[in-house]
Every structure is written in structure tokens, then in C-alpha cells.
Amino acid sequence: MTRERDFADPRIPNRDECVLRYLLDRWAVERTDKAHIVFADGEEWTFGELQKKVRAKAAGFRELGVQQGEHVAVWLPNGRDAIITFYALNYLGAVFVPFNTAYRGQLLEHVVANSGARFMVVHPDLVPRLAGVGLARLERLVVTTDRSVDGAPLPVTAYDDLLGDPADELPLERPIQPWDIQSIIYTSGTTGPSKGVLSSYLHMFSNAGPESWPMVGEDDRYLCVAPIFHIGGMGPPFVMLARGASVAMIDNFSTDEFWSIAKATKSTMVFLLGVMATFLLKAEPRPSDKDHTVKKAFMVPLTGDAAAFTERFGVDIYTIFNMTEVSSPIVSEANPDKIGTCGKVREGVEVRLVDANDCEVAVGEIGEMLVRTDRPWAMNSGYNANPEATAEAWRNGWFHTGDAFRQDEDGYFYFVDRVKDAIRRRGENISSFEVEADVCRHPCVREAAAIAVPSEYSEDEVMVIVAPVPGREIDPRELAEFLIDAMPYFMVPRYIRLLDELPKTPSAKVMKAELRAEGVTHDTWDREAAGMRVRRESFSA
């Protein structure tokens, strides 16, 4: 049955297709007994049950004083409290503002101030970090669990006490619109103060809606392995809510337990960020490698091991380019055979690759990716309380991603590097991404980060920081010999540093700024000091 349209513009979906409150109410009627949220311990929440939980918690937040459109800070790890808080705040038309659970000190003070929140929902273990930190407009803490909290810097309300009658109507001042702000997601903050990305309901819908991710259907179950303060963690529940489908919420990614949890939760799809796919592929093979329910996986980035991953685990691979600010502008078909690609431009999106002056580069040349969409409000609405950063990113009517790409003659895009992470060595521009990909092909390397360090000859030297596959050891000389045969001479790292694990944010991004600040340490191996020099090949005419 065709529903009457809410808006004259056909590009804008109905409210009950893209606004959380109306979506939940719709499915609670149409799919009352279908599971929407499942947990690793086997508990399931149907749409009907979830609606009651959400309405009861929303009534509690309303009694506390949370108003429609108000920003509410949420500082929680993944779990039941986090997902109910997310849904309940949006049910009131309030803005969900999650904080990274690694925040502390000045960075924590920055996001508290930037959020403009009066209320913070917080795990008790995080409360001590608020001591001695400027709390800006914060008035009250809502603390989860029934544990007592000593020395809290603000009045405390117990989260479990925020419960109202799920039968309450919870009237709104006005209907929640697709262009209203749903969330503020903070960028990783590894290279400077975090920016709060303003995302509307329509932005979140466009991020992984039917036109963005056509391979995802109402019968799929999405295994969410990222923290809820990351777009990769808060996006999946909304992606599946928009389809009337289900999501499996787990605490975090574990190489050893991944496939067993996927099977136990009957998950059919997963998003593998960063080195997750590498970790899974480099784990010891098991007879049960295909004994699971996963059928589809997004692998970001798409590595040369994609075919081996499909063969070993029986999973179709897709890839994508996305970031918190945009809405999946580049998506691939199943099992792309162009290694390293992110896919092609999806319907409803325009993409340009440009130079430093926003002038388009030729096909095959490297340029910064600029994006805009046909649908209004389908990308970010700017950076919260940061008009300068908003103007810089949105100049000339396009959103500037800060990522360098190239495009081939067939229309496929290839990520080259973050513009700020590019390395220039002896006249050659080097992609840290491509260096890392080659280093990770070594069977003993679990993960790698390539950075620029100062050279005595001007420009940069290439340094890689590597961590081993469990149970194996990395010999720097042997790794250097492997790389000399695998990559152009100018890309071969001069410096190799060994760590048990690379420093990462809780959203699995390597903290390159920290590694750059440490530079060449006393335990770093120097290829040239070891007598291994790599020279340009000469060819006779």
C-alpha cells in the first residue's frame, strides 16, 4: 500500500522512513514480534518490546527536563544502556551526542564545552575523569548501573530511576523533521581538537539507505563491531531500523571470538574497518572457518587479500568510501576485481578530484575528493559551534573530504592518502596507505603504519611502525629485503620500528600523530646504518 507523501519534494522520504521516532512506532505496529536488537548473550528485543523500553526511558528523560532539539552528552561503552539512550533521546527529538570513552583532560574539556549539553549520561568508571575538568554548561550527571559514585563534580541522577509510563503519549512541540539534527559525532581528534559533525536524520538515512547500500535487505542482520560513539557503531542500528531489520550489538571486536559471535547472533553482514579483515585472515586457519551465517562483508580498505578472504570464509566482499561527514558517495559491486578500489560514484552523488585551487585534475591524476548530493540534507550540516571549520570544508559549494584519490578510465576510484599524511621523499610523492599495504603483505606483519620523519637531505624519510602476527617475530632486515623486492626503490622504508601493537583510538584508527611525535626512537632499526642502501635502477638505451 502506498502511503500519502509527507513532502512535495520526491527526494525527501516520509518521516516514517527516515526519522527514528516514527520508524520505531511504524515497525512496532507492522513487525511487532520481529527482533531488532540482539546481544551476544542471546537476549533479543523485538520492535514491540524495544518501543516500550524506549518510550519508558524517553519519559524519564522528559521528566528530567530534556527538551526537543536539546543536545545531550552520552559517555558510555557499547551495551544495552547505550542503545536505549540513543533511541530514547531521538524519540524526544533531542540530539544524541556520544563521547569517545578514551577522552580525558583537555580533549574531554573541549568536547564538553563544544557540545553545549546540560545533561551527561555517563558510566560510573568515567566519572572520576571529570574531576578538575571544565564542565561548561553541564548541570547534572545521569550515571548508569546501581553503583555509588563518590566525588562526582555535579548532582547525580541514577539512570535506572529515569523511567516513565511507556503508555504516555510524549507529545512533541512540533513534528520531528528529516532535516532536524539527530546526532553530533566527534571526529577522532588524533591530529587536533575534535570537530563535532552535525548529522540530520536524512543524513543518517542517506548514509546507508536503499540507494546507498542496495545489497542490504530487511532479512539481514548487521553485526556491529564498532563503538557507538563512532559512525561505524551508531550507524548500523539506524541502517537496520530504516529497513525494519535487525542488528547484533557486541562490546568490541575480537579476532578470536569474531566468527563464533557472528554465528551465535545469526548475523548475515559485517563492516570490517581498518585492520580487522587482516587480523581475521592472519589468524590460524580452522576447520570451522566457514561455519557461520555471515554472507556479506564490507572491507575498508579493500586489500589484495580480498579474494583469499572470500575463499577462506565464504563471504562476498564489498567496499566503500565513507566518512562521518558524507553519505557513502563511493560504493563497489560484490567482489570487485580491481584491487585497491573503493568502487564507483553511487546514484544521487557528484564527485570531483581537484588540486589545491579546487580545479579538476585529469583522469589518472591525484586530487582531493570533493562531494555533493542531489538530495537536500543528505550530508553533514556543518561542524557544531565551529563556523570557521564549516566554511573551510564547504567552500565553493562542495564538501572537501581532505582525502586524496585517483580515478581510472572505467570510473573506479582509488584512495591514495589523507592529504596531510602524504610523504615526499627525494622528489617523489609517496602514499602512506600504499606503503602500509605492501608491508602488511609480509606474513609476519599484523599491522603497520607509515609516517614521514625528517631527513638530513631535506624532504622526508619513510618510517614504518609494525606489529607482529601473534606467535611470530619480525626481523627488520628480512622485512626490508622483502620490501626491496615488493615496492619501488623510493618507497622502501629507511626506518623500521617494532611494537607489540600500534596505538589506536577506540574507533580502531592508528594514532599517527603520536607516532610522528615520537619519531625515530632509540629502538628504531635504520636500514642505511645497517648497510642496506637502495638505489635507482639505471637502464641503457
What domains can you pick out in the chain, each with its CATH number? 16-33+45-202 (3.40.50.12780), 422-526 (3.30.300.30)
pLDDT tens, residue order, the chain (541 aa): 567 899 999 999 999 999 999 999 999 999 999 999 999 999 999 999 999 999 999 999 999 999 999 999 999 999 999 999 999 999 999 999 999 887 888 888 999 999 999 999 999 999 999 998 999 999 999 999 877 788 899 999 999 999 999 988 899 999 999 999 999 999 865 445 789 999 999 999 999 888 899 999 999 999 999 889 989 899 999 999 999 999 999 988 899 999 999 999 999 999 998 678 988 999 999 999 999 999 999 999 898 889 999 999 999 999 999 999 999 999 999 999 998 899 999 999 999 999 999 999 999 999 999 999 999 999 999 999 999 999 999 999 999 999 999 999 999 999 988 887 778 786 677 878 888 988 998 999 999 999 999 887 667 899 999 999 999 999 999 999 999 988 888 889 999 999 999 998 756 678 888 899 899 999 999 999 999 988 765 434 3
96, 188 Cβ separation under 8 angstroms: no
C-alpha cell at 159: 539512570
Q: Is 164 exposed, middle or buried (0-12, 13-18, 19+ CB in 10 A)?
A: middle
b/e code 94-104 from CB counts within 10 Å (16+ = b): bbbbbbbbebe
- Quick check: helix, strand or coil at residue 343? strand
Outline where DSSP puts E strands in 151-229.
Answer: 156-158, 181-186, 196-200, 221-224
b/e code 410-442 from CB counts within 10 Å (16+ = b): eebbbbbbbbebbbebeeeebbbbbbbbbbbbb
76, 98 Cβ separation under 8 angstroms: yes
Q: How many CA atoms lie within 13 A of 301 on its CB side?
A: 18
Among residues 84, 136, 119, the alpha carbon closest in space to that of 249 is found at: 84
Q: What is the DSSP string of 127-159?
A: GGGGTTS--TT--EEEE-SS---TT-SS-EEEG
C-alpha cell at 347: 546514484
